[in-house]
A and B are shown apart, each in its own frame.
Chain A
């Protein structure tokens, strides 16, 4: 006490600091700090169950009781803010606090079943640990414990064992405060208090797995990890999530070379302590149906197992013959290092710049945006900024479905009152609703008009839109452009223009984890690593030095993007004769993609790119004859049939895959490659932040993509280095980012769309987080928590076809149809929304179009 007094006399703390004494140690902490946090700062551990730094204080468990001198009873340190000159004594120095804590522990254990041997938490359980450190060995209680039937499934993934619960309310607070899905609640009182769900509403939250991780006892467990391992069996590796571009830090636990579980790891700048259920539970694909040997096509046309040297030799021979006319498509899932290897392989070994990392709907506008603004721009808009932004305008992006960490961060900002959101979307999805923002309704294709109106401060704007427009002019305003906007002509250009007009920062949010990294690594036509334009001589020579080639060997003109590659293959004479691409498929695509490319895009690099890329010549020389494909799904392409035709037309198809994907039916050589757990690597998240991960399975013998490419390149008498992830990463990092003139950004105008007539509607769509994704195959428990696929229309549109809420409706075109139950939704008339890739609703595969296309709608149908 005397020490405090004398110290307080000598040092005057700054206004925002308060001083206190904990166990006799003086400490100054910022105003508003909880006692338990202050104690942590000086390394004093106070036992706790309900306290969590990212949740509001609850003081439910009473385990953190401390003595505060001058107060009659011990107080919960997790809920009391440090007051000036407070003298706090924890169990270390105070018998009162120690007795109180031991008493609380005894109470908590009265009804606890002590079934640690069968509990998944056993071995890493805060209750187990703190019962040992802060509990008495004996209990005064000799009665009969309260029991419940155990366990009960509160969703298909999450199991609840109510006997073990200590009513800390971490799970319910998480669900309500962080995820915004208050589907679980504490009900009843006293000994009967229990966590429960509403009778007909299971705990189908995208973030439910976090409650398992933060449960301080084994009350919440997951079906996935049930009884599979003990903590001491597991070897943990810090990893990055491969499921989306959010870039979550994870911890992957492996037992005997098999991944047992994944946990969210703490990265305050990115995912904080959380992740989504897909990232946590979808990892069965790592082990299932893996390709183990190279396959080559024999003289009978059958794929047969081959040795590595044989397969490499065949691939090298075929690719040497197709040098200069090979297209490379890597899909959005390859790592940064592999994307770099693909880019280098294309330029050095294949002598081609025809490479793209996008196996999805793209547009020239998007390509221009990426080349001009995004590539090599390093860390741009961050999670921290969106949390503190006066206006985050999302367009072409549904955060909860497409980038769950953006959703959580926005929600955090909105809850704290530091962020405001708005979205341009066809309807106000749960993700938008939970982030509390304004939804400016726009049918797909009309985004550009809304964006333009926001920029022009049009007087015809609604009040809500005016507020959004003025907020966009404030400092720190952000426009998040999702990759989906690429399929809406004029959208990306309008977003860029709006950003320029208002001074808002623009960030491009891809859906897949590897896209941003592949862009920065140069896996896009026209771009060398670090965002270097291939048209700039200085950029080429920098790269040539690192690659050890002469600058003349590098292509000087941008090659074909994915659209161009497919077009070049499918417009060769004879493509129609083949009978595969005839009729509707080709027609529709020409319609849709044509609208995106030629009609609406006003600035087309007329001579250079045309001359380079135009496949139709008088004496026909095919522009593209061979394809190298990696991590590509046929159904990812907006028109899968057209891509199949392209595959048929290509005389050589080399596929690098982790498992059979459908491409092998067209492939000449298939190489098995390593999955993420079998190699080190990195992704770049949407912010531009590099997320590295280590090799989880140390014993893995599979080979990463880059290494396979290096072997093929060697056999072709070119060298791209070893191709191993770490040397590739070093090389890429050494190259750094480009500084210098960049090509122009997109400046297309949107075509005016006619209002669809009755019986027709504009298709709107995005993918659910949990859907038919190939990385979530076999995850039945996870799939059980997915949102049910439904079709959505406005009441007027539905009335137009005589459909009612809940009835089946058919969305069709001349390629196929989707039949789903209808949910009447507040959205523009003449628009129908269906999920992009959910069971019973696969837009690409069934309809072969992108959102914005006009489709037929009718009542009824057969599922």
Chain B
């Protein structure tokens, strides 16, 4: 076959490519179609025990392991009426700075309680520095069925060891009741405060309170 002129040869590649399957992913419109690989190192998550208590003990080993100095932890004492994790210690402050984090995963290897793992979430961009410092409430795993939000006491009769041995499978009715009662108190307090505000705002004397003799 006779030699085709150069331009024609070149454009033929373009022409045939037009009929091939398209590789372009439409992000963010179609991102669900292309999930990251399961082992992808994405945003961190602070896991919970099956009854909702936190697994983090505030040991700071993650901060120690971090090559980018992106993690800041402050531990604190669990009190009997303010228990966040089984055992003595919990992480009172837990921050990961995603401006620094290189998502290397050394922190999750260091974690002795498997409290810290990484999710597949990769959308870690924002418009301010503050919003990229994730606090504990941003990182804590969502409540799964059977969990109740802490602080609440441990499962009756279980030790810290039992939690790690998987003997706790879900929140007990006592724990559920404890949290419900606490929430009720919080709600009642909030209502009381709102009531007081109302009275002040209207310049009224506080009349007989529907919430008792406070």
Contacts and interface: CB of A to CB of B under 8 A. Distances in A.
A227 B58 CA distance: 8
A96 B173 CA distance: 59
A226 interface: yes
A227 B89 contact: yes
Interface in B67-96: 74-77, 87-89
Contact of A230 (B64, B77, B87, B89): B64
B77 A227 contact: yes
Nearest to A114: B112
B60 interface: yes
Nearest to B58: A227
Given A226-B77, A227-B58, A228-B75, A118 B64 contact: no
Nearest to A233: B60
Contacts of A233: 60, 63
A218 B126 CA distance: 43
A228 B76 CA distance: 7
Interface string B23-53: 0000000000000000000000000000000
B74 to A, nearest CB: 7
B64 A232 contact: yes
A745 interface: no
Contacts of A123: 64
Most buried by B among A116, A230, A232: A230
B59 A118 contact: yes
A612 interface: no
A227 B64 contact: no
B59 A122 contact: yes
Contact of A227 (B63, B75, B112, B113): B75
A226 B77 CA distance: 8
A548 interface: no
Interface residues of B, number: 16
Contacts of B112: 117
Contacts of B88: 118, 150-151, 227
Nearest to B60: A230
B77 A117 contact: no
Contact of A228 (B61, B63, B64, B74): B74
Interface residues of A, number: 14
Interface in A207-266: 226-230, 232-233
Interface in A110-134: 116-118, 122-123
A837 to B, nearest CB: 31
Given A150-B88, A151-B88, A227-B89, A117 B59 contact: yes
A123 to B, nearest CB: 8
A226 B79 CA distance: 13
A117 B113 contact: yes
Interface string B102-134: 000000000011000000000000000000000
Nearest to A118: B89
B57 interface: yes
A815 to B, nearest CB: 43
B4 to A, nearest CB: 69
Contacts of A151: 88
Most buried by B among A118, A150, A230: A118
A230 B88 CA distance: 16
A118 B60 contact: no
Contacts of A228: 74-75
Contacts of A117: 57, 59, 61, 112-113
A687 B74 CA distance: 41
Nearest to B64: A232
Interface string B176-191: 0000000000000000
Nearest to B111: A117
A117 B114 CA distance: 12
A254 to B, nearest CB: 14
B57 A118 contact: yes
Contacts of B61: 117
A779 B112 CA distance: 33
A834 B88 CA distance: 41
Interface string A354-393: 0000000000000000000000000000000000000000
A45 B59 CA distance: 30
B71 to A, nearest CB: 11
Most buried by B among A117, A123, A229: A117
B162 to A, nearest CB: 13
Contacts of A226: 77
Contacts of A232: 63-64
A119 B74 CA distance: 13
Interface in A776-801: none
Contact of B87 (A116, A118, A122, A229): A118
Most buried by A among B57, B75, B113: B75
Contacts of B63: 230, 232-233
Contacts of A116: 59
Contacts of A150: 88
Contacts of A230: 60, 63-64
A230 B63 CA distance: 10
Given A117-B59, A118-B89, 15 more contacts: A118-B57, A118-B75, A118-B87, A118-B88, A122-B59, A151-B88, A226-B77, A227-B58, A227-B76, A227-B77, A227-B88, A227-B89, A228-B75, A230-B64, A232-B64
Interface of B: 57-61, 63-64, 74-77, 87-89, 112-113
15 contacts: A116-B59, A117-B61, A117-B112, A117-B113, A118-B57, A118-B75, A118-B87, A118-B89, A122-B59, A151-B88, A227-B58, A228-B74, A230-B60, A232-B64, A233-B60
